[in-house]
Amino acid sequence: MTSLRLATRESPLALWQTRHVADRLRAIHPGLRVELVPMTTRGDRILDRPLADIGGKGLFLKELEIAMLDGRADAAVHSFKDVPMWLEGPFRIAAVLERAEPFDALVSPRWPNLAALPVAARVGTSSLRRQAQVRALRPDVRLVDLRGNLQTRLGKLDAGEYDAIILAAAGLERLDLGQRIAQRLCPPDMLPAVAQGALAIEIRADDQATADLLAPLEHPPTRACVEAERAMNGRLGGSCHAAIAGFAEWVAERLHLRALVGHPGTGELVRAEASGNPAAPQALGESVAETLLSAGAERVLAAV
């Protein structure tokens, strides 16, 4: 195989991520021709409604998957946090790259951190997960929906529509915008989205030639972490309609998973954590999910 076509969304961040993958592949496979196939997904086009109301994260994948099925692309590069728990159709994740910074970031031109925001400050985020955790920390602020690519969101902040917004730190760092970060929102105060900071490459399930090309990009420690997080989320039925957070990390040769379920309206949070065998990340994720359910997560999820 002398060429590879990578489908990607057209946002600057998605293009950066796909170019990063392309550069890695060219370095690993000298002579390989890697072509980007940019496209706009339905999730990118509909910006006037919350993602949960228009079909969820799968809207960022459909057009890219169709391109793979009809032969216009061989693989698709995704932010793993945007990939639904279950892929529809004949697809699989062929490679998970080493994770970048997984946490969220508060971006504000005036205020240095979440605690410093004035009463009733306007905080922009459409993520129910972020809303629930901010509500728990600062029940007085006003949470306002915020959609669009990273540049669009920053533009709205700079135009004065918000006092602060919350974004993934990895996206800001990848686009050399790390200087915009006022505060990194880290555990234990806030947990990130499942698989945040990791890149995933999706292929047709039967395309072994492409899988072989992508295999050197695989980072097993990251794969173990995100599999634990995604197993927890999957057991809880996680979707854009649920405020679920999870973060797994390696601690003394063990995999440690922290997770929570929250209510974006009240700020109620149900938390759980455990360590487990890195060779069985799915079992760890499902165990933490069961602990959450026993602690009342099902009631919180049903109330959202």
Residues with a catalytic annotation lie at: 82
For the four alpha carbons of 183, 187, 190 and 191, in that order, the dihedral sign comes to positive
Three-state DSSP at 284 gives: helix
Are residues 237 and 225 in contact, defined by beta-carbon separation less than 8 angstroms? no
Read off the DSSP letter of residue 80: G
Bridge partners, 245 (sequence order): 260
164-174 burial: b if 16+ Cβ within 10 Å, else e = bbbbbbbbbbb
- Say how many C-beta atoms besides its own lie within 10 A of residue 98's C-beta: 14
The two structure tokens encoding residue 222: 């990251």
Between the CA of residue 78 and those of 2, 14, 153, 202, 236, what are the distances in Å?
23, 7, 20, 8, 23
Cis peptide before 264 (omega within 30 of 0): no
Contacts of 294 (CB under 8 A, 6+ apart): none
- Nearest Cα to Cα of residue 22 among 213, 258, 165, 250: 213
Instruction: Specify the DSSP element, H or E, that contains 38.
Output: strand 33-39
The two structure tokens encoding residue 233: 């989320």
233-263 burial: b if 16+ Cβ within 10 Å, else e = bbbbebbbebbbbbbbeeeeeebbbbbbbbb
